[in-house]
Amino acid sequence: MRGAPVVVIVGRPNVGKSTLFNRLTRSRRALVHDLPGVTRDRIVSEAVGPGGRSITLVDTGGLLLEDQDGFIPLIRAQAEAALEGAAAVLLLLDGASGLLPEDREIAGFLRPLGVPVVPVVNKTDRKLVEHQAAEFFVLGLGEPVAISAEHGMGIAELWEALEGHLGEATEAEEGEDSEAGAVRVAIIGRPNVGKSSLLNRLVGLPRALVSEIPGTTRDAVDVLVERDDRSYVFVDTAGIRRKGRTDRGPEVLSVVMARRQLERADVCLILIDAVEGVTRQDAHVAGYAWDAGRALVVVVNKWDLVADRASARAAFEEQVAQQLKFARSAPVAFLSALTGQGVDRLYPLLDTVHQAFGLDAATSELNRVLHDAWRRQPPAVSGKREPKLFYAIQVRRGPPGFVLFTNFSTGLHFSYVRYLENTLREAFGLAGVPIRVMIRGRKR
C-alpha cells in the first residue's frame, strides 16, 4: 500500500482528537509509538475506511504542547510540517461547547493552505442543538459531519465525507507506476545528517539524467535519475530540501516526514552521522522502515571527518549490529556527501538491494534450501512426532514473503523461524531485505 494519502486531525485542545484517532485506527497496529518528547504515545497510524480505502492518519494532538498558552503559534510552527503534503484535514470541533474563537482561528489558519478541510463536530451524543450546528456553518468550510468519537457514531459518514477528498490522491498514486521498474529510494535521517547534501551528490554524478516529477501529494517533488539504462526515483525530495521545518519542531517531525517518504519507496537509505554514531532516533526511524517492509541500506555519512577509519569502520559495523538488530544484515556504506568520496558506490548497492527486494525465487531452489536447513538443524519439539517440512512457496515479492507448510498446528519457535530467515537471506543474497516467513501447520 504505497503512498496512502495523509490525513491530519487538527483542533483545539480537548475536542477529542485522540479519541477520534483511536476510533479511526482501531485494531490497526500503531506504526509510531513511544516517541521521546511527545505526550501521546501514538501520532501516526494506518487507518482503513469501510470501503477499503487506506489512509495515513496523523494526530497533531501529540505534536502540540496543549497546556501552553498561545497554542496557535505552535500549530503554525509544528503542525504545518505535518500538514504539508496532506491530502485532507479533519478539523475537529466540539458540539458540546459550541464554536469558540480558537476554532475560527484554526479555520483561518487552514484556509490559505489550500488543503481540503472536513469540519467534524464531535461529542454530538451530548445533544447538538440547532443553533450550534448553524454556528459551525459559519466557518465557511461546508457542512459539518456530526459524530461521537467516543461512541462511534457518525464514523461512516465521516469516511464518506473524507473519501470525497481522496479522489485526486488516487490518481496520483496510480501515476507513480509510470516509472515502472525504477528503484524507488527514500533518503531518511535526522536533521543535519546530510540528506540534502547526499541527494545533491547523487543527482550530480556523471551520466545522471535528472528530472523532477510531481509526487503523490501537494508539494511533494520526486527526482527521477536515469543512469546507465536504469532509473531511480528519490521520493519526496521537497521535504529533504526545505530545510528548517524539521529542525524547528520536535524530532518527532522528522519521523513523520520519514514515514511519508518511505511509504512510497522500496529502498531506504538511512543516514547516520559518522561523528555522532548510531542514536536512538536513528534506530527508531530505521525500525519503521524495516517494519514497513522496506529494504535498508545504512549510510554512514561525514566519513571525511573520521581519522582512524579502519577502527571506526569496525566500531560502526558493531554498533549497527547492536542497535539496529533487526537490520543487522543491511549493507553499510561509508561515504562523504561533502567530498563525494564513496558516493558513486551507492548506485550499484541500490541495484543489488532492489533486485533482492524483488526476488522471485524458483520453487525448486527454495525447497532445496529450506529442506537442507531443516535436515541440518531440525526444530526442537516436544512429543514423539517427527517435525516435517512439507513444502514452501513464495507468496509475495517486494519484500519477499514465504509460506512454509509443516506438520505443526502450533507454529514454530520464533528463534527457529529466525534461523530459517537467515538461511534464506544467505542463500538468496537478501542482505538488508525484510523478508517474511510464515509457518502453516497442517495434519497429514
Residue 179 binds ligand GDP, judged by CB under 6 A: no
Report the run of H or E that residue 286 belongs to, with start and end: helix 280-291
Closer residue to ligand GDP, CB minimum distance, 156 or 305 = 305
Q: Please, what is the angle between helix 414-428 and helix 363-376, to 10°?
A: 130
Across 315-349, b (16+ Cβ under 10 Å) vs e yields ebeebbeebbeebebbbbbbbbbbebebbeebbeb
Closer residue to ligand GDP, CB minimum distance, 124 or 197 = 197
Closer residue to ligand GDP, CB minimum distance, 12 or 259 = 259
Return the residue of 96, 153, 213, 338 that touches ligand GDP, per CB under 6 A.
Answer: 338
Q: Can you tell me the distance from the alpha carbon of 26 to that of 8, in angstroms, rounded to the nearest whole number?
A: 16
Quickly list H helices, 88-241.
101-110, 130-137, 155-163, 167-175, 195-204, 237-241
328 Cα distance to chain centroid: 20
Interaction residues for ligand GDP, span 183-212 (CB under 6 A): 189, 191-197
Smallest separation, CB 82 to ligand GDP (Å): 18
Return the residue of 216, 301, 406, 423 that touches ligand GDP, per CB under 6 A.
Answer: 301
Contacting residues for 219 by C-beta, under 8 A, at least 6 apart: 84, 85, 238
Closer residue to ligand GDP, CB minimum distance, 180 or 307 = 307
Interaction residues for ligand GDP, span 224-283 (CB under 6 A): 240, 243
Contacting residues for 167 by C-beta, under 8 A, at least 6 apart: none
Smallest separation, CB 196 to ligand GDP (Å): 3
Q: How many residues bind ligand GDP (CB under 6 A)?
A: 17
Return the residue of 150, 304, 317, 351 that touches ligand GDP, per CB under 6 A.
Answer: 304
Return the residue of 305, 314, 393, 395 that touches ligand GDP, per CB under 6 A.
Answer: 305
Report the run of H or E that residue 223 belongs to, with start and end: strand 221-227
Q: What are the φ and ψ backbone dihedral angles of 357, each rounded to 5 degrees? A: -60, -40
AA letter at 295: A
Closest residue by beta carbon to ligand GDP: 194
Smallest separation, CB 271 to ligand GDP (Å): 7
C-alpha cell belonging to residue 363:
520453487
| Binding window for ligand GDP (CB under 6 A); candidates: 79-87, 177-185, 297-305, 436-444 | 297-305
Smallest separation, CB 431 to ligand GDP (Å): 24
Binding residues vs ligand GDP (CB under 6 A): 189, 191-197, 240, 243, 301-302, 304-305, 336-338
